[in-house]
Amino acid sequence: MDQYVWETILAVALGFVAVYGILARNANARRKSFGKGGAEDREPRDTATTTPIDGIFRSKNNDASDDADVIIVGAGVAGAALAHTLGKDGRRVYVIERDLSEPDRIVGELLQPGGYLKLIELGLEDCVEGIDAQRVFGYALFKDGKRTRVAYPLEKFDSDVSGRSFHNGRFIQRMREKAASLPNVRLEQGTVTSLLEEKGVIRGVQYKTKSGEELIKYAPLTVVCDGCFSNLRRSLCDPKVDVPSCFVGLVLENCQLPFADHGHVVLADPSPILFYPISSTEVRCLVDVPGQKVPSISNGEMAKYLKTTVAPQVPLELHDAFIAAVDKGNIRTMPNRSMPAAPHPTPGALLLGDAFNMRHPLTGGGMTVALSDIVVLRDLLRPLGDLNDPPTLCKYLESFYTLRKPVSATINTLAGALYKVFCSSSDEARKEMRQACFDYLSLGGVFSNGPVSLLSGLNPRPLSLVCHFFAVAIYGVGRLLLPFPSPKRMWIGARLISSASGIIFPIIKAEGVRQMFFPVTVPAYYRAPPAK
């Protein structure tokens, strides 16, 4: 059966499922409140991020010969890619990055095929060359001794199209070099301390150079993409950051993955373990630890946890290399952050990348969302010869927040939902949902191609995501009721549907129902470029 016919049939069933789920959620409404960012409440407050222009000294850095059309704060994946993209379109771009040395991170190492296609569209595909990047063609899933493989549906694409995995820092340095090679793009190492605001309009930035000199820079448009720890986002959005878990990172050396050229996901207890190649001799391992506190590395608790709790669940082929990596001691941790996009449209400024929108990194979708956003922004800015009317430009760029939704909302929702499904639980309904997800993907064909095309960024269709998600839930109920239903199994099945609704509907609400499913009803969707 054709994939789209299948999705249409599922959509009909979804209506009944959704009604039940909403009723179930309403029953719990008095006990639960949606949208509280617990982690954000415990984080230190950022200092003031906007500075009035009145009284600011205009430094020699701002003479007419050094004008910029766009200031970009941050030169990570988003910042470097945007600098090259706008520079190639003839914009004068000034990039300020806190540290221009090669980054060393344990995330941002897997680029999905959809992200690679965006890289091609931006003319940056050669940035994955010469860094020992590895091609990735799908995923292998492991659960309770069973394993299955799901491949990316790449049949309709050129042979070069696939996922890519690599050292994050090498990839970023290649993009920085490519951006800096353009004569109208300038990269400077410095720390932006505040955005310069005048009568509600962002006019530029104040920053401190590597040598400690305080300077300011003006431009009609400032794009803030200074990453997940952004200290500038508070004046441009309503950040509700959640930290559901932390990643513990290791590098396994000189070992063979059970499925070559694939990412590996172990549905372990209490939460998933990831393996994927980052070079021809290295495999990244990321152990998810729920919550915001992890065992101490310094006193040996982390090594003990990894050896006693995690190692027995690691695939046999990787067990010895995993133990050797723990013994080597280069263990690193990083909090996994999730933050819906909640912008305050501000004349003269725009947010991008992890400073703007984050999702759980389980599905490796962050770079795909960022590159897709850059394509949308580039296409919106191309008709504009002049950016010097900030209020009009701001109103026009409100369409950016709607046009980006098909890709961003699909990947964000899937990341949040899959993480919750893949975590172990003592609840029988959640256990059944987890098992149903594994078995559903193991069926192959449309059952695996549909979800994997969503995860990979090849099918940015939120309705398709919702249909497949509830198809998994319905499949789980069917497994419970066949061959002979019992009252207990029927009750677990009802709770499974309720649990599925409780997982996905809050994520959809945070993303924005109207923008996800009815974007053409948003006024900004049809907004034309300002008249020249």
Strand order in the sheet with 163-165: 110-111, 163-165, 134-136
Q: How far apart are CA 100 and CA 86, in angstroms?
A: 20
How many Cα atoms within 13 Å fall on the side-chain side of residue 91? 29
374 in the same domain as 249: no
- pLDDT tens for 163-218 read 999 999 999 999 999 999 999 999 999 999 999 999 999 999 999 999 999 999 99
pLDDT of 28 strictly over 50: no
Query: Would you state the pLDDT for residue 208?
Result: 96
Residue 6, both tokens = 């299948």
Residues 6+ apart with CB under 8 A from 1: 446
pLDDT at 373 over 60: yes
Whether 9 is in a domain gets the answer no
Question: Mean pLDDT score of the chain, rounded to an integer?
Answer: 89
Reported confidence tier of residue 530, pLDDT bands at 50, 70, 90: confident
Give the type of residue at 239.
P
Within this chain, do residues 380 and 425 fall inside the same structural domain, yes or no? no
pLDDT of residue 526: 86
**Residues 76, 122 within the same domain:** yes
Question: Domain of 235: which CATH number?
Answer: 3.50.50.60
35 lies in some domain:
no
Q: Is the pLDDT of residue 329 over 70?
A: yes
In a domain, 27, yes or no: no
Helix or strand run (H / E) with residue 42: helix 38-42
Residue 231 shares a structural domain with residue 365: yes
- Percentage of the chain beyond pLDDT 90 is 84
Helices assigned H by DSSP within 182-331:
301-305, 316-328
Identify whether residues 255 and 326 lie together within a single domain: yes
The answer to whether 73 and 192 are in contact (CB under 8 A) is yes
pLDDT digit string, tens, across residues 31-77: 333 333 333 333 443 444 667 654 343 333 343 346 899 999 999 99
Residue 21 has pLDDT above 70, yes or no: no
Domain match, 435 and 287 both: no
The structure tokens listed for 259 are 């499925």
Query: Looking at the structure, do residues 372 and 500 belong to the same domain, yes or no?
Result: no
- Total domain count for the chain? 3
Confidence of residue 26 (pLDDT cuts 50, 70, 90): very low
**pLDDT for 117 beyond 60:** yes
pLDDT of residue 170: 98
Query: pTM here?
Result: 0.88
CB 242 within 8 A of CB 338: yes
* Within-domain flag for 67: yes
* CATH code of the domain covering residue 260: 3.30.70
Both 183 and 109 in one domain: the answer is yes
Q: What is the pLDDT of residues 378-404, one digit of tens each?
A: 999 999 989 999 999 999 999 999 999
Give the end of a domain, one of 356, 388, 420: 388
pLDDT category at 484 given cuts 50, 70, 90 is confident
428-442 and 462-481 helices cross at what angle (nearest 10)? Answer: 110
Whether residue 355 sits in one domain with residue 332: no
481 and 429 both lie in a single domain = yes
260, pLDDT greater than 80:
yes
Of 338, 362, 397, the last residue of a domain is: 338
Residue 305 sits in the same domain as residue 348: no
Report if residue 110 sits inside a domain: yes
Asked whether residue 379 is domain-assigned, the answer is yes
Q: Which two tokens stand for residue 505?
A: 């509907």
User: Are 111 and 184 in a shared domain?
Assistant: yes
Those residues whose C-beta lies under 8 Å from the C-beta of residue 277, and which sit 6 or more positions away, are: 134, 136, 165, 257, 261, 283, 284
Domain ranges, residue 296: 243-338
Res 53: pLDDT:
55
- Average pLDDT over every residue of 243-258: 96
DSSP state string for 383-429 = T-S----HHHHHHHHHHHHHHTHHHHHHHHHHHHHHHHHHS--SSHH
The verdict on residue 33 lying in a domain is no
Q: How many of the other CB atoms lie within 10 Å of CB of 395?
A: 15
Q: Which of 338, 360, 380 is where one domain is finished?
A: 338
Question: Is 528 contained in some domain?
Answer: no
Edge to edge, the sheet with strand 263-266 lists 146-151, 138-143, 263-266, 273-277, 282-290, 242-253, 332-338
Give the least confident one: 44-58, 316-330, 499-513.
44-58
